[in-house]
Amino acid sequence: MAHFFDAVSYSPLVTYEIHPGETRTVGLWGGDFLGNDLGVVVDQDLVKMQEKRRVNGSRYFDLTGLKIGQTSLRAFAGLYDFAFPIEVKVTKKLSTPQGKLAERKAIVDEALSHVGKAHYVWGAAGNTPGLADGASFRRDLVKLLPTSFSQQEPLVRTAWTGIEGVNTCAGCSSKYSQQSSQSISNYLKAGKDEPGKNGLFPRIWKFKGKVQPRGASGNGLVWGESCIGKRHFDCIGFVEYCIGKVWSQTTVFQIDIAVLFNNPGHYGFAIVTDPTDILNADLVSHDDGGGKWHHIGMVYLDEKNQAKIVQAADSDIGVTSGEIYVPRQWGHRIRLLDSMVKTPVTARR
């Protein structure tokens, strides 16, 4: 059925919020119904609408907020609705949140508690292999793989997920000198599930089913830490897990990076434009352009009040902190609204 959608995230719309002076673009899928025999209307005292383009059976419209109020965006074919009408709200732009400092610090403290300890594997949101101790929406995704002494695909004390293919944990391998492939071969021939001479365990590193060209020979065979007893995250799962400790809403905090950064206001966040206005637990991401974003990090203030980044970086790195926050190296920065956080439950791991 024809429907209105967000032109950046392509998500279907039921409601749409803009501020006075702000221009955003919506699309109408199925908008080329009988050529031009389709009317799209909105109260132009509240919202200025201008058709932008027509592409592949969809029409795109720029909506500019004029004054505070509420109206409907409708598409008519003759006397009948062609698409489900959406509610358009023109609202006052909120001031940047400045409260709930203790709660924001609690988010950061939770994040920093995993630095140098937790591992990274795609799709993970905090659980220890074999335990249901992850974020509420993904409590027990990460599992421990059966031990394999295969020369081609060794797996010793290695965690994995099955999101978008097989993902194995590299066990923070880049923290350690990678010995020759012969050392892995000798370990595997011995066939004993015990630490190597370097205190590590061999495994093949896969991401979305593809072997990563790492290790001493670039064949994906790496020495890494044991995954037993280690929490595992990916970058967004790490942020979701930490914010989940103080999330005040009845729905869980689980969201795609691009969806969040393209429409932060829809999910309880505000964009922060003042480079001097930095609070603990502000979120940043890399902007690839065209509404596409990748990776997410969390800003924190150290004991000297310097802004730095804590993040689940990659499977060969794990959870890290200490990177100086340089705004130009990231896209825009967003901040949780005060109303979205509550006093955390302490000692909840």
Which pLDDT score, from 0 to 100, does residue 346 have? 54
Cα distances from 247 to residues 26, 185, 301, in angstroms, run 30, 48, 21
The confidence band for 174, taking pLDDT boundaries of 50, 70 and 90, is very high
Which pLDDT score, from 0 to 100, does residue 31 have? 59
Which pLDDT score, from 0 to 100, does residue 90 have? 92
Q: What are phi and psi of 289, to 5 degrees?
A: 85, 155
CB within 8 A of 52, min separation 6: which ones? 25, 60, 61, 62
Q: How far apart are CA 178 and CA 201, in angstroms?
A: 11
Domain ranges of the chain: 3-90, 101-116+233-340, 128-230
The rounded percent of the chain whose pLDDT value lies above 90 is: 70
Instruction: State pLDDT tens for residues 35-92.
Output: 456 788 999 999 999 998 888 888 999 999 999 999 999 988 777 888 899 999 998 7
Which pLDDT score, from 0 to 100, does residue 30 have? 78
Residues forming beta bridges with residue 320, ordered by sequence position: 311
Which pLDDT score, from 0 to 100, does residue 94 have? 63
Between residues 284 and 94, which one has the greater pLDDT?
284
Which pLDDT score, from 0 to 100, does residue 179 have? 80
Tokens of 230: 């280690």
Instruction: State pLDDT tens for residues 236-271.
Output: 999 999 999 999 988 889 999 999 999 898 899 999
Poorest-pLDDT segment among 205-209, 212-216, 308-312: 212-216
Tokens of 98: 């400045």
Same fold, 3-90 and 101-116+233-340: no
Instruction: State pLDDT tens for residues 124-139.
Output: 999 999 999 999 999 9
**Domain spanning 101-116+233-340: which superfamily?**
endopeptidase domain like (from Nostoc punctiforme) (3.90.1720.10)
Q: How far apart are CA 156 and CA 224, in angstroms?
A: 9
CB 308 within 8 A of CB 279: no
Which pLDDT score, from 0 to 100, does residue 196 have? 94
Helix (H), strand (E), coil (C) string for the chain: CCEEEECCCCCECCEEEECECCEEEEEEECCCCCCCCCEEECCCCCEEEEEEEEECCEEEEEEEECCCEEEEEEEEECCEECCCCEEEEECCCCCCCCCCHHHHHHHHHHHHCCCCCCEECCCCECCCCCCCCCCCCCCCCCEECCCECCCCCCECCCEEECCCCCEECCCCHHHCCCCCHHHHHHHHHHCCCCCCCCCCEEEECEECCEECCCCCCCCCEEEECCCCCCCEECHHHHHHHHHHCCECCCCCCCCCHHHHHHCHHHHCEEEECCCCCCCCCCEEEEEEECCEEEEEEEEEECCCCCEEEEEEEECCCEEEEEEECCHHHCCCEEEECHHHECCCCCCCC
CATH number, domain 3-90:
2.60.40.10
Which pLDDT score, from 0 to 100, does residue 345 have? 59
Instruction: State pLDDT tens for residues 282-329.
Output: 999 998 888 889 999 999 999 999 999 999 999 999 999 999 999 999
Tokens of 40: 């799209």
Residues forming beta bridges with residue 73, ordered by sequence position: 86
Which pLDDT score, from 0 to 100, does residue 37 have? 64
Strands 86-90 and 15-18: parallel
Tokens of 289: 């352009």
In a 10 Å sphere around its CB, with 0-12 CB exposed, 13-18 middle and 19+ buried, how is residue 35 labelled? exposed
The rounded percent of the chain whose pLDDT value lies above 70 is: 96
User: Is the backbone of residue 91 left (phi > 0), alpha (psi -120 to 50) or beta?
Assistant: beta
The confidence band for 347, taking pLDDT boundaries of 50, 70 and 90, is very low
The pLDDT mean for the chain works out to 91
